[in-house]
């Protein structure tokens, strides 16, 4: 492994509840009912696609850009109050960095939130690069974000390991035959068997640290 490309939500940051409850929380805030299956409908969409979905399904008087800017503040406050690093994530990242592995973030979350969270939790200095879906214009259903991140790191894709908790991102990465190490999260447990089948490995940060030290 010459480079490690980490997802953020559900992989190194325990923050998926912010997103699974986001749609209902926002609709509650504007006095609109939440339809059944909302999270199922939006979970694989990019930020821009989610805004388009809301504008087409709910009577909201905004452009896509206006709605996303409203959401930025709405979501950022929830990150600041609720998001924490997963156990072992910081020490694992530190261990990779000390061994000379290049480290990057590839996330669907807005850049300003991602960069703030890395700083808040004391790991920003280990990340050479932060990339978001906005940088490539497509969601992680496709391998584009991972491939572009590897390119900007100056590392061949076959020398990178992708760390992901989301089955749709794992499927996207495997479209380019990328190496994916899965990190199971409560939000991904319904897809556990598919995660195990598709990922090259399923890892736990604390166990990995022990193995690296041993």
Q: What is the mean pLDDT of residues 106-128?
A: 95
**Residue range 157-206, pLDDT digits in tens:** 999 999 999 999 999 999 999 999 999 988 778 889 999 999 999 999 98
pLDDT for 206: 85
* Domain span holding position 58: 16-82
**Residue range 34-50, pLDDT digits in tens:** 999 998 898 878 788 89
* Distance between CA atoms of residues 16 and 12, nearest Å: 11
pLDDT for 209: 83
pLDDT for 187: 78
Domain count for the chain, please give it.
Answer: 2
Q: Say yes or no to pLDDT of 20 above 90.
A: no
**Residue range 96-114, pLDDT digits in tens:** 999 999 999 999 998 999 9
**What number of other Cβ atoms are within 10 A of residue 73's Cβ?**
8
Domain boundary among 54, 82, 110: 82
Domain boundary among 82, 115, 136: 82
Specify the 3-state DSSP secondary structure of 127: coil
Q: What is the mean pLDDT of residues 137-152?
A: 95
Nearest C-alpha neighbor of 152 from the set 3, 31, 28, 32: 3
Kindly state whether residues 164 and 104 are assigned to the same domain.
Answer: yes
Specify the 3-state DSSP secondary structure of 133: helix
pLDDT for 129: 97
The CATH number that applies at residue 164 is 3.40.50.1000
Kindly state whether residues 45 and 96 are assigned to the same domain.
Answer: no
pLDDT for 214: 62
Mean pLDDT score of the chain: 93
Kindly state whether residues 103 and 208 are assigned to the same domain.
Answer: yes
Q: Say yes or no to pLDDT of 84 above 90.
A: yes
**Which tokens belong to 89?**
């994530």
């Amino acid at each position: 492994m010459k480079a490690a490309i980490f997802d953020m939500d559900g992989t190194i940051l325990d923050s998926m509840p912010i997103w699974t409850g986001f749609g209902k929380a926002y609709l509650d805030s504007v006095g609109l009912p939440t339809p059944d299956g909302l999270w199922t409908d939006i979970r694989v969409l990019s930020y821009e696609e989610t805004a388009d979905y809301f504008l087409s399904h709910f009577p909201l008087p905004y452009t896509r850009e206006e709605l996303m800017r409203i959401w930025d503040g709405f979501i950022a406050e929830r990150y600041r109050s609720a998001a924490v690093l997963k156990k072992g994530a910081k020490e694992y990242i530190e261990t990779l960095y000390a061994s000379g592995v290049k480290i990057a973030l590839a996330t669907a979350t807005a850049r300003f939130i991602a960069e703030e969270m890395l700083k808040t939790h004391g790991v920003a200095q280990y990340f050479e690069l932060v990339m978001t879906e906005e940088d490539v214009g497509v969601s992680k259903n496709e391998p584009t974000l991972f491939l572009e991140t590897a390119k900007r790191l100056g590392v061949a894709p076959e020398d990178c390991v992708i760390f992901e908790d989301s089955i749709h991102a794992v499927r996207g990465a495997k479209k380019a035959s990328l190496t994916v190490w899965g990190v199971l999260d409560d939000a991904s447990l319904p897809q556990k068997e598919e995660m195990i089948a598709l990922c090259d490995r399923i890892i736990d940060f604390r166990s990995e640290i022990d193995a690296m030290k041993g």
